[in-house]
């Protein structure tokens, strides 16, 4: 099984983050037999 880890640094991108995560999951899991870990690093955002 392949293990894939994606680190996403973000700042004030709340409106785009959900869509990004969905697309990333769809791209990775189109490939069979992969384990996906996603780390979202938010540092001081002011958009909630």
Let me know if residue 10 belongs to a domain: yes
Let me know if residue 32 belongs to a domain: yes
DSSP H or E run through 10: strand 2-10
The pLDDT of residue 30 is: 61
The pLDDT of residue 2 is: 83
The pLDDT of residue 3 is: 87
Tally the domains of the chain.
1
Length of the chain, please? 48
Count of other CB atoms within 10 angstroms of residue 13: 14
Let me know if residue 48 belongs to a domain: no
Distance, in Å, from the CA atom of 8 to the CA atom of 30, rounded to the nearest integer, reads 20
Let me know if residue 33 belongs to a domain: yes
List pLDDT tens digits, range 8-48.
999 999 889 999 998 988 886 666 677 888 999 998 899 87
Let me know if residue 47 belongs to a domain: no
Let me know if residue 23 belongs to a domain: yes
Which structural domain, as residue segments, surrounds residue 21?
A: 2-42
Question: Is 9 in contact with 41 (CB distance < 8 Å)?
Answer: yes
Closest CA to 47 of 17, 13, 20: 13
Let me know if residue 25 belongs to a domain: yes
Let me know if residue 19 belongs to a domain: yes
């Amino acid at each position: 099984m392949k293990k894939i880890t994606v680190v996403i640094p973000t700042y004030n991108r709340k409106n785009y983050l959900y869509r990004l995560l969905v697309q990333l999951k769809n791209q990775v899991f189109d490939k069979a037999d992969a384990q996906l870990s996603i780390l979202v690093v938010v540092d001081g955002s002011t958009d909630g």
